[in-house]
């Protein structure tokens, strides 16, 4: 007879506890599963957001203008590595670049606005542009910018270098003609021009009195004098005209040599008119007229214009040597002297307000007083 089977059963309290724990763990597993699903589902969105954040910002359609130009020296030589600074007015900050081996530069990606350029290069004067107004998307091409030699560099050079600079400036002045015809040799549009040597003063005077236009103008003046019977002792006819022509040309030569070469060398004064070009019309007119009585010394100082005043009256006195009869005397000396000085004042007004507009040979960088 088999023994009765023994049945084992867990205590009631253990069974109930295990069931309770299983019931409580089920919501946790559900929460964990839900969080994992949310995390996995959000990964594409995070990746897309990161990719979008990495993309560069699209340029503003307004910042698409540009300014370009080229830098030269006064001999039209290329100036590489010049430093160009661009500043937008009413906005802080600046942009800088350097010119390439061909002297060219460009600023791109600019917004519309008002700008100024500053250009610096070793041994050359600093250039500051006028206001540049850019429209949206405009591509501005500036005229070629020629930088003259810096005065500071000239002051530390030997005298020979300064003489060479003055000679180069004289060569430019000797080509200056109003309307391409009438001499404008004694107008300096470079305010800080180097002083002339005595040899350069005499050379410029000789170049002036030998100009063909002077011979033509002398002929016209002699004709007017003959028509008005000025200096009647010369008479009429071809002989009278010839005497008047010779006297008028002698007046021109003596006045030019004394006023522009001999006395300027003795008194160390510059015989040229230095174009002002800035300021009010009244101040410029006063400046032009007074240059007949004051002038610039070779040292740059303002001095009484002994050269012009003495030159006019010396030439007037010398004219007595080739005038005849009653035409001679103190009256002739004073007449010719005052005509020379007054004519110089009137000529200066034309130089200040008119001649530059009609003299194509004036360099672009020669603009008068800064």
Domains of the chain by residue range: 65-147, 157-358
Provide the residue-wise pLDDT of the chain in tens; the chain has 370 residues. Answer: 444 444 444 444 444 444 444 444 444 555 555 544 455 455 544 444 454 444 444 445 567 899 999 999 888 788 999 999 999 987 888 999 999 998 999 999 999 999 999 999 998 889 998 889 999 999 999 988 888 887 754 554 444 578 888 999 999 999 999 999 999 999 999 999 999 999 999 999 999 999 999 999 999 999 999 999 999 989 999 999 999 999 999 999 999 999 999 999 999 999 999 999 999 999 999 999 999 999 999 999 999 999 999 999 999 999 999 888 778 889 889 999 999 999 999 999 999 999 999 999 998 888 999 8
What does the pLDDT read at residue 74?
A: 81
Q: What is the DSSP letter of 309?
A: H
Distance CA 66, CA 111 (A): 9
Cα-Cα-Cα-Cα dihedral sign, residues 359, 362, 213, 223: positive
What does the pLDDT read at residue 268?
A: 97
Task: For tokens 């088999």, name the residue.
Answer: 2
What does the pLDDT read at residue 89?
A: 85
Which tokens hold the place of 333? 């000396």
Identify the CA nearest to 260 among candidates 321, 206, 216: 206
Identify the CA nearest to 305 among candidates 334, 269, 354, 340: 269
Task: For tokens 């307000």, name the residue.
Answer: 353
CA angle 305, 195, 144 (to 5 degrees): 120
Which tokens hold the place of 25? 């763990």
Contact (Cβ atoms closer than 8 angstroms) between residue 72 and residue 103: yes
What does the pLDDT read at residue 7?
A: 45
Q: Per-residue b/e over 4-32, b at no fewer than 16 CB within 10 Å? A: eeeeeeeeeeeeeeeeeeeeeeeeeeeee
What does the pLDDT read at residue 34?
A: 52
C-beta neighbour count of 235 within 10 angstroms? 15
The count of residues in the chain is 370
Distance CA 264, CA 254 (A): 14
What does the pLDDT read at residue 159?
A: 43
Three-state secondary-structure class, residue 179: coil
Domain 65-147: give its CATH architecture.
Answer: Sandwich (2.60)
């Amino acid at each position: 007879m088999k023994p009765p089977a023994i049945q084992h059963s867990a205590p009631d309290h253990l069974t109930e506890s295990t069931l309770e724990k299983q019931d409580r763990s089920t919501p946790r597993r559900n929460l964990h599963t839900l969080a994992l699903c949310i995390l996995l589902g959000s990964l594409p969105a995070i990746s897309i957001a990161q990719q979008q954040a990495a993309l560069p910002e699209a340029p503003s359609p307004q910042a698409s203008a540009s300014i370009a130009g080229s830098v030269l020296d006064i001999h039209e030589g290329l100036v590489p590595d010049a430093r160009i600074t661009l500043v937008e007015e009413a906005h802080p900050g600046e942009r800088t670049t350097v010119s390439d081996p061909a002297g060219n530069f460009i600023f791109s990606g600019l917004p519309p606005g008002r700008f100024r350029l500053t250009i610096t290069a070793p041994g050359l004067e600093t250039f500051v542009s006028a206001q540049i107004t850019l429209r949206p998307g405009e591509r501005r091409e500036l005229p070629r910018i020629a930088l003259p030699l810096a005065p500071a560099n000239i002051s530390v050079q030997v005298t020979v270098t300064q003489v060479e600079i003055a000679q180069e400036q004289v060569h430019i002045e000797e080509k200056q003609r109003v309307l391409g015809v009438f001499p404008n040799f004694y107008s300096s549009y470079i305010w800080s021009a180097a002083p002339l040597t005595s040899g350069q003063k005499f050379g410029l005077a000789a170049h002036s009195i030998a100009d063909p236009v002077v011979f033509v103008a002398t002929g016209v003046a002699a004709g007017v004098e003959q028509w008005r019977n000025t200096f009647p002792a010369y008479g009429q006819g071809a002989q009278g005209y010839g005497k008047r022509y010779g006297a008028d040309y002698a007046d021109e030569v003596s006045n030019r040599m004394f006023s522009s070469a001999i006395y300027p060398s003795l008194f160390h004064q510059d015989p040229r008119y230095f174009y002002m070009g800035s300021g009010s019309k009244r101040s410029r007119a006063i400046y032009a007229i007074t240059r007949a009585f004051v002038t610039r010394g070779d040292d740059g100082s303002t001095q009484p214009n002994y050269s012009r005043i003495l030159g006019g009256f010396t030439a007037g006195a010398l004219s007595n040597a080739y005038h005849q009869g009653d035409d001679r005397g103190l009256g002739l000396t004073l007449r010719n002297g005052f005509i020379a000085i007054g004519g110089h004042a009137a000529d200066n007004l034309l130089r200040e307000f008119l001649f530059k507009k009609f003299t194509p040979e004036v360099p672009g960088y020669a603009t008068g007083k800064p």
